[in-house]
Chain A
Amino acid sequence: LSLAAPPKEPVLMCRSNNYPKGFYCSWHLPTPTYIPNYFNISVIHGTKDMVCEKDATPKNRCHIRYLQLFSTVKYKVTLTVTNALGKNFTTLTFDEFAIVKPDPPESVVAKPVPNNPRRLEVSWQNPSSWPDPESFPLKFFLRYRPLILDQWQHVELSDGTSHTITDAYAGKEYIIQVAAKDNDIGTWSDWSVAVHATPWTEEPKHLTTEAQITETTSASTSSFMAPPTTKICDKGAMVGSGAMAVCWTAGLVVAAYSILFI
Protein backbone atom coordinates (compact mmCIF):
# COMPACT_ATOMS: atom_id res chain seq x y z
CA LEU A 1 0.00 0.00 0.00
CA SER A 2 1.61 3.27 -1.15
CA LEU A 3 0.81 6.54 0.62
CA ALA A 4 0.03 9.60 -1.47
CA ALA A 5 2.61 12.33 -0.90
CA PRO A 6 3.17 15.99 -1.65
CA PRO A 7 5.78 16.55 -4.38
CA LYS A 8 9.47 16.74 -3.51
CA GLU A 9 11.63 19.38 -5.23
CA PRO A 10 11.49 18.51 -8.95
CA VAL A 11 14.56 17.86 -11.08
CA LEU A 12 14.87 20.33 -14.00
CA MET A 13 17.28 20.29 -16.91
CA CYS A 14 17.58 22.77 -19.81
CA ARG A 15 19.70 22.24 -22.87
CA SER A 16 20.26 23.62 -26.35
CA ASN A 17 20.97 20.77 -28.79
CA ASN A 18 19.85 22.86 -31.76
CA TYR A 19 21.74 26.12 -31.31
CA PRO A 20 21.00 28.79 -32.44
CA LYS A 21 17.32 27.83 -32.82
CA GLY A 22 16.47 27.62 -29.13
CA PHE A 23 16.50 25.26 -26.17
CA TYR A 24 14.33 22.73 -24.37
CA CYS A 25 13.73 21.95 -20.72
CA SER A 26 12.73 18.62 -19.27
CA TRP A 27 11.80 17.63 -15.76
CA HIS A 28 10.72 14.83 -13.45
CA LEU A 29 10.04 14.15 -9.82
CA PRO A 30 12.74 12.35 -7.85
CA THR A 31 10.18 10.19 -6.01
CA PRO A 32 6.61 9.21 -6.99
CA THR A 33 3.66 10.88 -5.30
CA TYR A 34 1.06 8.23 -6.35
CA ILE A 35 -1.47 10.97 -7.21
CA PRO A 36 -1.72 13.22 -10.26
CA ASN A 37 0.81 16.11 -10.43
CA TYR A 38 0.51 19.34 -12.39
CA PHE A 39 3.60 21.08 -13.71
CA ASN A 40 3.87 24.73 -14.62
CA ILE A 41 6.96 26.17 -16.23
CA SER A 42 7.85 29.85 -16.59
CA VAL A 43 10.77 31.39 -18.45
CA ILE A 44 11.95 34.94 -17.84
CA HIS A 45 14.57 36.67 -19.96
CA GLY A 46 15.47 39.99 -18.39
CA THR A 47 12.10 41.68 -18.07
CA LYS A 48 10.42 39.55 -20.71
CA ASP A 49 8.19 36.58 -20.03
CA MET A 50 8.67 33.84 -22.61
CA VAL A 51 6.40 30.93 -23.45
CA CYS A 52 7.89 27.45 -23.30
CA GLU A 53 5.75 25.32 -25.62
CA LYS A 54 4.94 21.93 -24.21
CA ASP A 55 6.01 19.00 -26.37
CA ALA A 56 3.50 16.27 -27.25
CA THR A 57 6.19 13.67 -26.66
CA PRO A 58 7.99 13.17 -24.49
CA LYS A 59 5.78 14.53 -21.75
CA ASN A 60 7.40 16.75 -19.15
CA ARG A 61 9.29 18.65 -21.78
CA CYS A 62 8.89 22.05 -23.46
CA HIS A 63 10.84 24.07 -25.98
CA ILE A 64 11.59 27.75 -26.62
CA ARG A 65 12.79 29.58 -29.70
CA TYR A 66 15.45 32.23 -29.28
CA LEU A 67 14.24 35.65 -30.37
CA GLN A 68 17.69 37.13 -30.12
CA LEU A 69 21.19 35.75 -30.20
CA PHE A 70 24.26 36.64 -28.14
CA SER A 71 22.28 37.83 -25.16
CA THR A 72 24.04 39.31 -22.11
CA VAL A 73 21.02 38.72 -19.93
CA LYS A 74 20.48 35.31 -18.34
CA TYR A 75 17.42 33.08 -18.72
CA LYS A 76 15.56 32.15 -15.53
CA VAL A 77 13.41 29.02 -15.68
CA THR A 78 11.07 28.18 -12.80
CA LEU A 79 9.25 24.86 -12.58
CA THR A 80 6.37 24.51 -10.13
CA VAL A 81 4.75 21.18 -9.33
CA THR A 82 1.41 20.93 -7.53
CA ASN A 83 -0.79 18.11 -6.36
CA ALA A 84 -3.69 17.68 -3.92
CA LEU A 85 -1.31 17.50 -0.98
CA GLY A 86 1.17 20.24 -1.67
CA LYS A 87 3.46 22.22 -3.90
CA ASN A 88 7.14 22.51 -4.68
CA PHE A 89 9.40 24.27 -7.16
CA THR A 90 12.92 24.64 -8.53
CA THR A 91 14.75 27.34 -10.52
CA LEU A 92 17.53 27.34 -13.09
CA THR A 93 19.43 30.46 -14.18
CA PHE A 94 21.80 30.31 -17.13
CA ASP A 95 23.50 32.18 -19.95
CA GLU A 96 22.52 31.37 -23.54
CA PHE A 97 25.95 29.89 -24.17
CA ALA A 98 26.20 27.72 -21.09
CA ILE A 99 23.52 25.18 -22.02
CA VAL A 100 24.67 24.39 -25.56
CA LYS A 101 25.20 20.62 -25.83
CA PRO A 102 24.73 18.90 -29.20
CA ASP A 103 23.34 15.40 -29.66
CA PRO A 104 25.98 12.72 -30.36
CA PRO A 105 27.28 12.27 -33.95
CA GLU A 106 25.24 9.90 -36.10
CA SER A 107 25.97 7.04 -38.49
CA VAL A 108 29.40 6.26 -37.08
CA VAL A 109 31.11 3.73 -39.35
CA ALA A 110 34.52 2.10 -38.87
CA LYS A 111 36.17 0.05 -41.62
CA PRO A 112 39.50 -1.70 -42.03
CA VAL A 113 41.84 -0.36 -44.72
CA PRO A 114 42.93 -3.05 -47.25
CA ASN A 115 46.63 -3.93 -47.02
CA ASN A 116 47.05 -1.82 -43.89
CA PRO A 117 47.11 -3.97 -40.77
CA ARG A 118 47.35 -1.01 -38.39
CA ARG A 119 44.70 1.29 -39.83
CA LEU A 120 41.00 1.83 -39.31
CA GLU A 121 38.96 4.37 -41.23
CA VAL A 122 36.27 6.08 -39.15
CA SER A 123 33.53 8.34 -40.50
CA TRP A 124 30.39 9.91 -39.03
CA GLN A 125 27.77 12.58 -39.59
CA ASN A 126 26.73 15.74 -37.77
CA PRO A 127 23.76 15.11 -35.46
CA SER A 128 20.60 15.77 -37.48
CA SER A 129 19.24 18.02 -34.70
CA TRP A 130 22.06 20.57 -35.25
CA PRO A 131 20.44 23.02 -37.68
CA ASP A 132 23.32 25.04 -39.12
CA PRO A 133 26.75 23.37 -39.12
CA GLU A 134 27.97 25.85 -41.75
CA SER A 135 27.75 28.90 -39.50
CA PHE A 136 28.00 27.01 -36.22
CA PRO A 137 30.55 24.31 -36.95
CA LEU A 138 31.07 21.35 -34.64
CA LYS A 139 34.33 19.88 -33.49
CA PHE A 140 34.71 16.21 -32.62
CA PHE A 141 36.36 13.93 -30.11
CA LEU A 142 37.15 10.37 -31.08
CA ARG A 143 38.03 7.64 -28.61
CA TYR A 144 39.14 4.10 -29.40
CA ARG A 145 40.67 1.07 -27.70
CA PRO A 146 41.12 -2.62 -28.41
CA LEU A 147 38.50 -4.69 -26.57
CA ILE A 148 41.22 -6.40 -24.58
CA LEU A 149 42.53 -3.15 -23.05
CA ASP A 150 40.90 -0.65 -20.68
CA GLN A 151 42.83 2.46 -21.71
CA TRP A 152 41.17 4.71 -24.32
CA GLN A 153 43.10 6.71 -26.87
CA HIS A 154 41.73 10.13 -27.77
CA VAL A 155 41.88 12.37 -30.80
CA GLU A 156 40.32 15.82 -31.02
CA LEU A 157 39.37 16.93 -34.54
CA SER A 158 38.53 20.52 -35.32
CA ASP A 159 36.94 19.85 -38.68
CA GLY A 160 35.90 17.09 -41.02
CA THR A 161 33.74 14.09 -40.26
CA SER A 162 36.29 11.34 -40.79
CA HIS A 163 39.59 10.18 -39.36
CA THR A 164 42.04 7.36 -40.01
CA ILE A 165 43.46 5.59 -36.98
CA THR A 166 47.04 4.63 -37.84
CA ASP A 167 48.27 2.98 -34.66
CA ALA A 168 45.84 0.11 -34.17
CA TYR A 169 47.20 -3.19 -32.91
CA ALA A 170 47.19 -5.67 -35.78
CA GLY A 171 44.42 -8.22 -35.69
CA LYS A 172 42.68 -6.85 -32.58
CA GLU A 173 39.02 -5.91 -32.46
CA TYR A 174 38.47 -2.23 -31.60
CA ILE A 175 35.64 -0.30 -30.02
CA ILE A 176 35.23 3.28 -31.30
CA GLN A 177 33.04 6.25 -30.24
CA VAL A 178 32.70 9.88 -31.27
CA ALA A 179 31.39 12.99 -29.42
CA ALA A 180 30.59 16.48 -30.72
CA LYS A 181 30.77 20.03 -29.39
CA ASP A 182 30.10 23.46 -30.80
CA ASN A 183 33.47 24.78 -31.92
CA ASP A 184 33.45 27.62 -29.41
CA ILE A 185 30.75 27.32 -26.74
CA GLY A 186 28.96 24.86 -24.47
CA THR A 187 29.81 21.29 -23.54
CA TRP A 188 30.55 17.97 -25.23
CA SER A 189 27.73 15.71 -26.35
CA ASP A 190 27.29 12.24 -24.93
CA TRP A 191 29.32 9.52 -26.69
CA SER A 192 27.86 8.12 -29.88
CA VAL A 193 26.74 4.51 -30.20
CA ALA A 194 29.90 2.35 -30.14
CA VAL A 195 31.10 0.66 -33.32
CA HIS A 196 33.41 -2.31 -33.56
CA ALA A 197 36.03 -3.00 -36.21
CA THR A 198 39.18 -5.05 -36.70
CA PRO A 199 42.07 -3.90 -38.89
CA TRP A 200 42.80 -5.81 -42.11
CA THR A 201 44.92 -8.91 -41.59
CA GLU A 202 47.10 -10.77 -44.11
CA GLU A 203 45.90 -14.40 -44.52
CA PRO A 204 48.02 -16.11 -47.29
CA LYS A 205 51.30 -16.26 -45.25
CA HIS A 206 49.48 -18.35 -42.60
CA LEU A 207 48.20 -20.82 -45.26
CA THR A 208 51.66 -21.43 -46.84
CA THR A 209 53.07 -22.50 -43.44
CA GLU A 210 50.29 -25.11 -43.01
CA ALA A 211 50.93 -26.57 -46.50
CA GLN A 212 54.64 -27.08 -45.68
CA ILE A 213 53.85 -28.90 -42.39
CA THR A 214 51.39 -31.27 -44.13
CA GLU A 215 54.01 -32.02 -46.81
CA THR A 216 56.68 -33.11 -44.30
CA THR A 217 54.40 -35.18 -41.97
CA SER A 218 52.53 -37.24 -44.63
CA ALA A 219 54.16 -40.51 -45.84
CA SER A 220 56.01 -40.39 -49.17
CA THR A 221 53.04 -41.73 -51.10
CA SER A 222 51.63 -40.47 -54.32
CA SER A 223 48.58 -39.17 -52.55
CA PHE A 224 48.88 -35.61 -51.20
CA MET A 225 46.73 -34.50 -48.37
CA ALA A 226 45.25 -31.12 -49.24
CA PRO A 227 45.39 -28.81 -46.23
CA PRO A 228 41.96 -27.89 -44.91
CA THR A 229 41.46 -24.74 -47.04
CA THR A 230 37.77 -24.46 -46.15
CA LYS A 231 38.62 -24.30 -42.45
CA ILE A 232 41.02 -21.37 -42.96
CA CYS A 233 38.58 -19.42 -45.12
CA ASP A 234 35.81 -19.81 -42.55
CA LYS A 235 37.89 -18.14 -39.81
CA GLY A 236 35.80 -15.51 -38.00
CA ALA A 237 38.53 -12.89 -37.94
CA MET A 238 38.38 -12.28 -41.66
CA VAL A 239 36.74 -9.01 -42.57
CA GLY A 240 35.36 -7.65 -45.79
CA SER A 241 35.35 -8.95 -49.36
CA GLY A 242 39.09 -9.60 -49.19
CA ALA A 243 38.18 -12.96 -47.63
CA MET A 244 36.92 -14.45 -50.90
CA ALA A 245 40.05 -13.38 -52.80
CA VAL A 246 42.28 -14.96 -50.14
CA CYS A 247 40.34 -18.23 -50.31
CA TRP A 248 40.89 -18.44 -54.06
CA THR A 249 44.58 -17.64 -53.66
CA ALA A 250 44.87 -20.39 -51.02
CA GLY A 251 43.22 -22.82 -53.42
CA LEU A 252 45.72 -21.95 -56.15
CA VAL A 253 48.71 -22.38 -53.84
CA VAL A 254 47.49 -25.84 -52.80
CA ALA A 255 46.94 -26.78 -56.45
CA ALA A 256 50.50 -25.69 -57.26
CA TYR A 257 51.97 -27.89 -54.50
CA SER A 258 49.84 -30.84 -55.56
CA ILE A 259 51.20 -30.60 -59.11
CA LEU A 260 54.79 -30.63 -57.78
CA PHE A 261 54.25 -33.99 -56.02
CA ILE A 262 52.46 -35.86 -58.75
Chain B
Amino acid sequence: DSWGIFTFLCAALCNLPALPALNCSEELGAGQSIQQTYDLTRYLEHQLRTLAGTYLNYLGPPFNEPDFNPPRLARAERVPSATVDLDLWRGLTDNARLAANYRAYSRLLCYLRVLDGQVGTAELRHRLAHFCASLQGLVLSIGGVMSSLGYPLPAGPAGPPAPSGAPPAPNDFLKKMDDFWLLKELQTWLWRSAKDFNRLKKKVPPAVVTLRLEARGF
Protein backbone atom coordinates (compact mmCIF):
# COMPACT_ATOMS: atom_id res chain seq x y z
CA ASP B 1 0.00 0.00 0.00
CA SER B 2 1.98 3.02 -1.27
CA TRP B 3 -0.12 5.51 0.69
CA GLY B 4 0.77 3.67 3.88
CA ILE B 5 4.48 3.74 3.04
CA PHE B 6 4.27 7.47 2.29
CA THR B 7 2.57 8.10 5.61
CA PHE B 8 5.17 6.07 7.47
CA LEU B 9 8.06 7.86 5.74
CA CYS B 10 6.69 11.26 6.62
CA ALA B 11 6.01 10.29 10.21
CA ALA B 12 9.57 9.03 10.56
CA LEU B 13 11.25 11.95 8.87
CA CYS B 14 9.09 14.75 10.18
CA ASN B 15 9.73 14.44 13.87
CA LEU B 16 13.09 16.15 13.56
CA PRO B 17 11.96 19.78 13.07
CA ALA B 18 10.03 19.71 16.36
CA LEU B 19 13.25 20.09 18.41
CA PRO B 20 13.27 22.77 21.11
CA ALA B 21 15.11 26.04 20.41
CA LEU B 22 18.88 25.89 20.83
CA ASN B 23 20.37 27.73 23.82
CA CYS B 24 22.83 29.68 21.69
CA SER B 25 20.13 31.70 19.91
CA GLU B 26 18.74 32.92 23.24
CA GLU B 27 22.18 34.20 24.19
CA LEU B 28 22.50 36.19 20.98
CA GLY B 29 19.21 37.94 21.52
CA ALA B 30 16.24 38.19 19.23
CA GLY B 31 17.64 41.01 17.09
CA GLN B 32 20.73 39.07 16.06
CA SER B 33 18.72 35.88 15.51
CA ILE B 34 16.35 37.68 13.15
CA GLN B 35 19.30 38.94 11.12
CA GLN B 36 20.78 35.43 11.01
CA THR B 37 17.45 33.96 9.94
CA TYR B 38 17.15 36.59 7.23
CA ASP B 39 20.66 35.75 6.01
CA LEU B 40 19.77 32.06 6.00
CA THR B 41 16.73 32.63 3.80
CA ARG B 42 18.90 34.52 1.30
CA TYR B 43 21.47 31.73 1.32
CA LEU B 44 18.79 29.09 0.80
CA GLU B 45 17.23 31.09 -2.01
CA HIS B 46 20.59 31.12 -3.73
CA GLN B 47 21.08 27.38 -3.14
CA LEU B 48 17.61 26.63 -4.42
CA ARG B 49 18.30 28.28 -7.75
CA THR B 50 21.00 25.71 -8.50
CA LEU B 51 19.03 22.82 -7.03
CA ALA B 52 15.83 23.71 -8.91
CA GLY B 53 17.72 24.07 -12.18
CA THR B 54 19.24 20.62 -11.80
CA TYR B 55 16.01 19.04 -10.64
CA LEU B 56 13.85 20.51 -13.38
CA ASN B 57 16.36 19.33 -15.98
CA TYR B 58 16.10 15.89 -14.44
CA LEU B 59 12.31 16.06 -14.79
CA GLY B 60 12.79 17.07 -18.40
CA PRO B 61 10.52 19.14 -20.68
CA PRO B 62 8.17 20.91 -20.26
CA PHE B 63 9.16 21.35 -16.59
CA ASN B 64 12.54 22.87 -17.39
CA GLU B 65 11.17 25.40 -19.89
CA PRO B 66 11.33 29.00 -18.59
CA ASP B 67 7.81 29.88 -19.82
CA PHE B 68 6.20 26.77 -18.39
CA ASN B 69 3.10 28.11 -16.68
CA PRO B 70 0.74 25.22 -15.88
CA PRO B 71 -2.65 25.67 -14.21
CA ARG B 72 -2.86 24.63 -10.59
CA LEU B 73 -4.48 21.21 -10.60
CA ALA B 74 -7.42 20.47 -8.34
CA ARG B 75 -5.32 18.41 -5.97
CA ALA B 76 -5.46 19.38 -2.30
CA GLU B 77 -2.95 22.02 -1.17
CA ARG B 78 -0.11 20.14 0.48
CA VAL B 79 1.89 23.10 1.70
CA PRO B 80 0.48 26.36 3.08
CA SER B 81 0.93 28.81 0.23
CA ALA B 82 3.05 31.93 0.63
CA THR B 83 0.44 33.87 -1.37
CA VAL B 84 -1.46 36.30 0.82
CA ASP B 85 -3.62 39.40 0.60
CA LEU B 86 -1.42 42.52 0.95
CA ASP B 87 -3.29 44.14 3.83
CA LEU B 88 -3.55 40.83 5.66
CA TRP B 89 0.20 40.32 5.30
CA ARG B 90 0.92 43.83 6.59
CA GLY B 91 -1.34 43.30 9.59
CA LEU B 92 0.16 40.01 10.76
CA THR B 93 1.37 40.01 14.36
CA ASP B 94 5.00 39.06 14.90
CA ASN B 95 3.86 35.75 16.35
CA ALA B 96 1.59 34.95 13.41
CA ARG B 97 4.25 35.99 10.93
CA LEU B 98 6.90 33.76 12.51
CA ALA B 99 4.47 30.86 12.99
CA ALA B 100 3.45 30.95 9.32
CA ASN B 101 7.10 30.70 8.29
CA TYR B 102 7.81 27.95 10.83
CA ARG B 103 4.87 25.82 9.72
CA ALA B 104 5.56 26.28 6.03
CA TYR B 105 9.22 25.31 6.19
CA SER B 106 8.56 22.35 8.49
CA ARG B 107 6.13 21.00 5.92
CA LEU B 108 8.36 21.81 2.97
CA LEU B 109 11.29 20.07 4.66
CA CYS B 110 9.18 17.01 5.18
CA TYR B 111 8.19 16.79 1.52
CA LEU B 112 11.71 17.45 0.35
CA ARG B 113 13.00 14.59 2.47
CA VAL B 114 10.51 12.24 0.85
CA LEU B 115 11.71 13.48 -2.53
CA ASP B 116 15.28 12.81 -1.50
CA GLY B 117 14.52 9.13 -1.09
CA GLN B 118 13.09 8.85 -4.58
CA VAL B 119 15.38 10.70 -6.97
CA GLY B 120 17.50 8.84 -9.49
CA THR B 121 20.90 10.48 -9.81
CA ALA B 122 23.63 10.64 -7.16
CA GLU B 123 24.26 14.32 -7.90
CA LEU B 124 20.63 15.18 -7.18
CA ARG B 125 20.59 13.14 -3.99
CA HIS B 126 23.70 14.97 -2.81
CA ARG B 127 22.27 18.40 -3.62
CA LEU B 128 18.94 17.59 -2.02
CA ALA B 129 20.59 16.27 1.12
CA HIS B 130 22.67 19.45 1.42
CA PHE B 131 19.62 21.62 0.86
CA CYS B 132 17.57 19.71 3.42
CA ALA B 133 20.31 20.21 6.00
CA SER B 134 20.29 23.96 5.36
CA LEU B 135 16.49 24.06 5.46
CA GLN B 136 16.56 22.19 8.76
CA GLY B 137 18.86 24.96 10.02
CA LEU B 138 16.32 27.57 8.93
CA VAL B 139 13.48 25.84 10.77
CA LEU B 140 15.59 25.70 13.94
CA SER B 141 16.59 29.33 13.51
CA ILE B 142 12.96 30.46 13.22
CA GLY B 143 12.15 28.33 16.26
CA GLY B 144 14.98 30.06 18.11
CA VAL B 145 13.63 33.52 17.28
CA MET B 146 10.17 32.52 18.45
CA SER B 147 11.48 31.16 21.73
CA SER B 148 13.62 34.21 22.43
CA LEU B 149 10.57 36.41 21.87
CA GLY B 150 8.51 34.21 24.18
CA TYR B 151 6.23 32.71 21.54
CA PRO B 152 5.21 29.04 21.68
CA LEU B 153 6.32 26.88 18.79
CA PRO B 154 3.46 25.75 16.53
CA ALA B 155 2.73 22.04 16.84
CA GLY B 156 5.17 20.37 14.45
CA PRO B 157 4.09 17.93 11.74
CA ALA B 158 4.49 14.96 14.09
CA GLY B 159 2.43 12.77 11.83
CA PRO B 160 1.69 12.72 8.13
CA PRO B 161 0.91 16.18 6.78
CA ALA B 162 -2.82 16.90 7.30
CA PRO B 163 -5.39 14.19 6.77
CA SER B 164 -6.57 16.14 3.74
CA GLY B 165 -3.07 15.80 2.23
CA ALA B 166 -3.00 14.75 -1.39
CA PRO B 167 -2.85 11.01 -2.16
CA PRO B 168 0.24 9.97 -4.11
CA ALA B 169 0.08 10.86 -7.81
CA PRO B 170 -1.58 8.22 -10.01
CA ASN B 171 0.91 8.60 -12.84
CA ASP B 172 4.45 9.69 -13.60
CA PHE B 173 3.50 13.04 -15.16
CA LEU B 174 1.35 14.11 -12.22
CA LYS B 175 4.11 13.07 -9.83
CA LYS B 176 6.47 15.39 -11.72
CA MET B 177 3.84 18.13 -11.55
CA ASP B 178 3.76 17.73 -7.76
CA ASP B 179 7.54 18.09 -7.63
CA PHE B 180 7.37 21.19 -9.85
CA TRP B 181 4.85 22.90 -7.57
CA LEU B 182 6.78 21.91 -4.44
CA LEU B 183 9.87 23.68 -5.76
CA LYS B 184 7.77 26.67 -6.83
CA GLU B 185 6.20 26.99 -3.37
CA LEU B 186 9.61 26.70 -1.76
CA GLN B 187 11.02 29.43 -3.98
CA THR B 188 8.09 31.74 -3.28
CA TRP B 189 8.31 31.15 0.48
CA LEU B 190 12.00 32.07 0.47
CA TRP B 191 11.20 35.33 -1.37
CA ARG B 192 8.42 36.05 1.07
CA SER B 193 10.50 35.23 4.12
CA ALA B 194 13.09 37.84 3.16
CA LYS B 195 10.28 40.41 3.36
CA ASP B 196 8.83 38.89 6.55
CA PHE B 197 12.19 39.07 8.31
CA ASN B 198 12.84 42.59 7.03
CA ARG B 199 9.66 43.65 8.81
CA LEU B 200 10.62 41.78 11.96
CA LYS B 201 14.10 43.35 11.91
CA LYS B 202 12.52 46.80 12.14
CA LYS B 203 10.35 45.79 15.06
CA VAL B 204 12.98 44.17 17.28
CA PRO B 205 15.54 46.86 18.11
CA PRO B 206 19.24 45.94 18.35
CA ALA B 207 19.09 47.44 21.87
CA VAL B 208 17.88 44.02 22.99
CA VAL B 209 21.29 42.60 22.09
CA THR B 210 23.16 45.46 23.83
CA LEU B 211 21.25 44.94 27.07
CA ARG B 212 22.15 41.28 27.13
CA LEU B 213 25.85 42.06 26.57
CA GLU B 214 25.84 44.61 29.40
CA ALA B 215 24.32 42.06 31.72
CA ARG B 216 27.32 39.84 31.10
CA GLY B 217 29.73 42.60 32.16
CA PHE B 218 31.06 43.59 28.74
How long is the Cα–Cα vector from A66 to B86 in the complex, in angstroms?
Answer: 8
Contact call A68/B71, Cβ cutoff below 8 A: no
How long is the Cα–Cα vector from A73 to B67 in the complex, in angstroms?
Answer: 11
Q: A46-B71, A47-B71, A74-B69 are in contact. Are A69 and B198 (CB under 8 A)?
A: no
Tell me the B166-218 residues at the A interface (CB within 8 Å): 181, 184-185, 187-189, 191-192, 194-195, 198-199, 202
Contact call A67/B195, Cβ cutoff below 8 A: no
How long is the Cα–Cα vector from A69 to B195 in the complex, in angstroms?
Answer: 11
Contact call A69/B202, Cβ cutoff below 8 A: no
**Which B residues are CB-close (under 8 A) to A67?**
85-86
Question: Which stretch of A79-87, A132-140, A200-208, A234-242 is in the interface?
Answer: A132-140
How long is the Cα–Cα vector from A96 to B217 in the complex, in angstroms?
Answer: 49
Which of B72, B85, B191, B199 has a CB less than 8 Å from the CB of A68? B85
Residue on A nearest B201 in the bound complex, by CB: A137
Residue on A nearest B185 in the bound complex, by CB: A72
The reply to whether the CB of B6 lies closer than 8 angstroms to some CB of chain A is no
Q: Mark B73-113, 1 if CB is under 8 A from A, else 0.
A: 00000000111111001100000000000000000000000
Q: A73-B72, A97-B191 are in contact. Are A136 and B67 (CB under 8 A)?
A: no
CB distance from A19 to the nearest CB of B (A): 10
The reply to whether the CB of A172 lies closer than 8 angstroms to some CB of chain B is no
Tell me the A52-72 residues at the B interface (CB within 8 Å): 66-72
Main secondary structure of the interface of B (DSSP, over half): helix
Which of A72, A134, A184 has a CB less than 8 Å from the CB of B202? A134
Which of A68, A183, A185 has a CB less than 8 Å from the CB of B83? A68
Contact call A135/B86, Cβ cutoff below 8 A: no
Contact call B199/A135, Cβ cutoff below 8 A: yes
The reply to whether the CB of A143 lies closer than 8 angstroms to some CB of chain B is no
**Which A residues are CB-close (under 8 A) to B191?**
70, 97, 184-185
Q: A46-B71, A93-B67 are in contact. Are A70 and B83 (CB under 8 A)?
A: yes
**Which A residues are CB-close (under 8 A) to B181?**
72
Contact call B194/A72, Cβ cutoff below 8 A: no
CB distance from A53 to the nearest CB of B (A): 18
The reply to whether the CB of A20 lies closer than 8 angstroms to some CB of chain B is yes
Residue on B nearest A74 in the bound complex, by CB: B69
Contact call A72/B184, Cβ cutoff below 8 A: yes
**Which A residues are CB-close (under 8 A) to B42?**
184
Which of B86, B89, B192, B198 has a CB less than 8 Å from the CB of A183? B198
CB distance from B159 to the nearest CB of A (A): 26
CB distance from A23 to the nearest CB of B (A): 14
- In this complex, the member of A71, A72, A73, A74 whose beta carbon has the largest number of chain B beta carbons within 10 angstroms is A72
CB distance from A242 to the nearest CB of B (A): 38
How long is the Cα–Cα vector from A74 to B191 in the complex, in angstroms?
Answer: 15
- In this complex, the member of B85, B89, B191 whose beta carbon has the largest number of chain A beta carbons within 10 angstroms is B191
Size class of the contact patch on chain A: 20 to 34
How long is the Cα–Cα vector from A49 to B71 in the complex, in angstroms?
Answer: 14
Q: A47-B71, A72-B81, A93-B67 are in contact. Are A136 and B86 (CB under 8 A)?
A: no
Q: A68-B83, A68-B84, A135-B195 are in contact. Are A93 and B188 (CB under 8 A)?
A: no
CB distance from B192 to the nearest CB of A (A): 4
How long is the Cα–Cα vector from A66 to B198 in the complex, in angstroms?
Answer: 20
Which of B72, B192, B199, B202 has a CB less than 8 Å from the CB of A46? B72
How long is the Cα–Cα vector from A66 to B90 in the complex, in angstroms?
Answer: 14
The reply to whether the CB of A196 lies closer than 8 angstroms to some CB of chain B is no
Residue on B nearest A184 in the bound complex, by CB: B194
CB distance from B87 to the nearest CB of A (A): 10
CB distance from A77 to the nearest CB of B (A): 12
**Which A residues are CB-close (under 8 A) to B198?**
135-137, 183-184
The reply to whether the CB of A76 lies closer than 8 angstroms to some CB of chain B is yes
**Which A residues are CB-close (under 8 A) to B202?**
134-135
Contact call A72/B199, Cβ cutoff below 8 A: no
CB distance from B91 to the nearest CB of A (A): 12
Contact call A72/B71, Cβ cutoff below 8 A: no
Contact call A70/B72, Cβ cutoff below 8 A: no
Q: Mark B8-47, 1 if CB is under 8 A from A, else 0.
A: 0000000000000000000000000000000000100000
What are 27 of the A-B contact pairs (CB < 8 Å)? A20-B86, A47-B71, A67-B85, A67-B86, A68-B85, A68-B86, A69-B84, A69-B85, A69-B86, A69-B192, A70-B82, A70-B84, A70-B89, A70-B191, A71-B83, A71-B188, A72-B83, A72-B187, A73-B69, A93-B67, A135-B90, A135-B195, A135-B198, A136-B195, A184-B195, A184-B198, A185-B191
